[in-house]
Amino acid sequence: MRGLSGPLAGILLVAGAFLCYFALLVYCDVVRPVNPGFEADPSEAGFVVVTTVRPGSPSALAGLAVGDRLIAINGVTIVDSDSWGALGASYEMGVSMPVVVERAGASIHLQMLLPPEPMVYWRTRVGGTLLAIRAAQLITALAGLLIAVRRPRDPVALTASWFLLTCAVFVIALPLRVVMVWRELPIPIRELFWLPYASGLAIGPILLTFVTLFPARVPYAAHIQTATWAVAGIALASPLYNAMHLLYRGTELRSIGPRSLLLFTVVWASLVAAVVVSVWNYRRITDLNERRRLRAVVAGIVVAVLPGFSAVAYYWLPKHTNQAQSIFESPALGIVAVALLAAPLSITYAVLRHRLFDVTFIIRKWVRYLLARSLIRSLLPALAVWLAVDFLSHRHETISAVLQRHRTMYIVAALAAGAILIWNRRWLDAIDRRFFRERHLANVVLREVAEQVRRAGSLDHVAPRVVATIESVMHPEFAALLVRGPGRDVFKAIASAPAASAPDDLGADSKLAALVRVLEAPLDTSEDGDTLLRRRLPPADLDYVRRARIETLIPVITHDDQFHALLALGPKRSEEPYAQEDYDVLVAIAENLALLVARSAPRREAPTLEECPACGACFDGGSGVCASDGRPLAPRALPRTLADRYRLDRRLAAGGMGTVYEALDTALERRVAAKVIRENLISDERTIDRFVEEAKSAARLREHRHVVTVYDFGVIDGRQPFLIMELLVGRTLRQILEESGAMRTAAMLSIFQGVCSAVSAAHGRGLIHRDLKPENIFLADDEAGAVPKVLDFGIAKPVSVAASVTRRQTDHGVLVGTLEYMSPEQLRGEPSNRSWDLWSLAVIALEMLTGKLPGSPSLPGVVTWDPAEPLRESRPRSAQVLSRALSIDHARRPADARALFGELELALRADGEPHDRESSSHGHMQVLRR
């Protein structure tokens, strides 16, 4: 095995042992003796007594009779009724075998001759089923070998390979005379066979080991595996000893009945445990692709195992001592032969493919597409068939009479046929556009971008629009353009969408860059990409690709053969691979970008921002006065356009954390809200990193109806973060409370339910708000009414950390958050906890119900009064719930936001509506309806 790596050489050796053992089983299946033709059952005394002898069979010719007690066959002594099930493995073919029986108290010696099985056997159902199952097992063995060769250093893949190779050699009953052939093999090969034989006995624990690792390691995997193999080792000891005794000595079959039952129990308990662990793992993991991979494996194993289990039950349960009947006479094995392929195919696909797709969606889409096209294509033939049927139904009349009677109908049919002929192609094209609309639009839009790149005068100017359009049309996790500047030895991202997702610098002398340069074509760097190419990359480059989540790299090579830039794309959010059509368009864009690289100038400084103090209108630096009211403009230490994409147009609001602007997304031409965090709240690079991580978590909440959608985020000059959010129209809860005061129960619950739902969803993702207050609850105008949305997820944590650092450093630091809504433990600076938000929610609920704040804890966070006292008289049950939510001991507060809302809702319903607030609440409802 010179030239093979160590792991691969060992893998091939082990796989070779399994394949050779499989060849032994097949050889003994093909070159086999006839069945001896007798049945035997154990007696109450533990003897094996012959119950049936088939006339004309070898046992009948040998003189075996009903009622004989079996003592020994071919020199192998039968100890008891539990030990003789594997006796057939010691039969010989074409040689007289001595048979010792006890008849009428006397010992009788017989001679039994088993001739070879005639070729007609392979034309029977039993022979055909046997060959079909062995063919399925051969495919399974090849699948296991393929996995091992493709993933020689992956423990999960090697475990899957081990399981498939074990399935390939697994037999319910050993073939006749297999021990005699095994015994004659050369010693090295003979000893290697113990590994596949033992694996076949431990197929259940092997499967359980695999599912604890795939697709992600389950908690306590090591403990589960240790316990499983400890029990399996005890169960395997006796069967392995008995097999060795039979192979090396061949004098008697030792009793293994109870131990065989233990092994049988361990195998099936492991299979059941594998299902339980798979279900547990499936409920635990959240990644959609990992769930699909696990579903594929479980479905394949279930399809393969269930028919096999029925076959085992058919053979072992009713007549497990029947030497005249082959297991392959089971009618269930006809199904097993086909079903067995489900396991290797599904496991190979799920293990080797890094990403799986929703097959049911693809099937549904294609079925609908084919049905729609078939309907259009069948219109003209259906019309012709209808005319033919109509003529045949009037065949006794003349053609002129038929035409005269149905003239109008035939004219309409002729016009319809003409319309079908004229519009048929357009209808089919419309169906294509309907079902492949996204790809059609993607190609149109991206080709327009390629044309804009061709006409642009600066790479810096067009790069943000290029990556933004690619991100919006192809939907990758990110798209970035990396450029190698003059005299630079790294490729640095000059534009990325989203702005904060730019990959790290890539060394120009790295092997990854060299490989892309040599190929001069898109490089698929995904787990499912070219394995040979990935093997050429050093670990550092593979780690860079994995860390940056780069799915594909497209080189930008100029006409003078200079390699200046790279387009880097992350995986698609739909989890589909990049198709050839995608690569064609991306290459077209890269070719046009190459025309710009040579004349690309250094990045120009973005215009600074000036804004009107009165109306908030924003202008480029140097404008001087407001175009609306003529007032002098105030300069701001901000660029007018954030991340070369979001142009600030108007200041909407300013607060303790920062300023919110109405902005234009120039890439997608939509209005957005941009929140720029105050620079003095960001202390160092670690705070920036915390902000980026929190913003990513907040962006994942975009699907929640009651959380403001975060489109993008980034950092200005590495020091000042910003968030890009949906632009809302409406008012804050603070504005409504200032106008209307206390709220009616129904209106309060309608708002509070949405807020609690948003906070609960954030807590489920490990995100704590830390600054909940009416100013951060926005009631957005919607067709269905006012929709509460929680603002500022993603910035409270890093800003509060920065503020606390500032406070420790100076006596005049800023404490982020509003004192009245902060829990005592938050004011004391204790570690963050979900209960902080529950305290804030309780204060907000009190303010909504009473129209005023209950007060605030005095530093260092000690509460000396009952915050819910204003509700004691009018709403006693509600006061009790809120008092517990505002408990100094945070362990007494409700478990989560949903629990708080549930308890408060029940209490408010029970308390009813106070009559003295009806007029105030009526006014509030009028305010909400505006």
155-169 vs 125-150: helix axis angle to the nearest 10?
160
Q: Does residue 232 contact residue 262 with C-beta atoms inside 8 Å?
A: no
Q: Three-class SS of residue 870?
A: helix
Strands of 68-124, DSSP E: 69-73, 76-78, 96-103, 106-113
**Residues marked as catalytic:** 771
The DSSP output letter for 677 is: E
3-state secondary structure string, 515-528? HHHHHCCCEECCCC
Q: H or E element: which one contains 785?
A: strand 785-790
What is the DSSP pairing of strand 634-639 with strand 563-569? unpaired
- What is the C-alpha separation between 869 and 25, in angstroms, rounded? 84
- For residue 787, the tally of other CB atoms under 10 A from its CB is 18
Closest CA to 529 of 459, 472, 487, 578: 578
- What is the C-alpha separation between 585 and 484, in angstroms, rounded? 23
Expressed in angstroms, the distance from the first to the final Cα of the chain is 82
Amino acid identity for residue 864 in this structure: T
Is the CA virtual torsion 172, 175, 178, 179 positive or negative? positive
125-150 vs 6-30: helix axis angle to the nearest 10?
180
The residues that bridge with 252 in the sheet, in sequence order, are 77
The residues that bridge with 613 in the sheet, in sequence order, are none
The DSSP output letter for 851 is: S
Is the CA virtual torsion 192, 196, 202, 207 positive or negative? positive
Cα dihedral 347, 299, 166, 263 in deg (nearest 10):
150
DSSP annotation string for 541-602 = HHHHHHHHT--EEEEEE-TTS-EEEEEEE--BTT-PPPPHHHHHHHHHHHHHHHHHHTTPPP
Angle, CA of 229, 233 and 237, to the nearest 5°: 165
Peptide bond between residue 831 and the one before it cis (omega within 30 degrees of 0): no
- What is the C-alpha separation between 554 and 409, in angstroms, rounded? 61
Classify 603 in phi/psi space as left (phi over 0), alpha (psi -120 to 50) or beta: beta
Classify 485 in phi/psi space as left (phi over 0), alpha (psi -120 to 50) or beta: beta
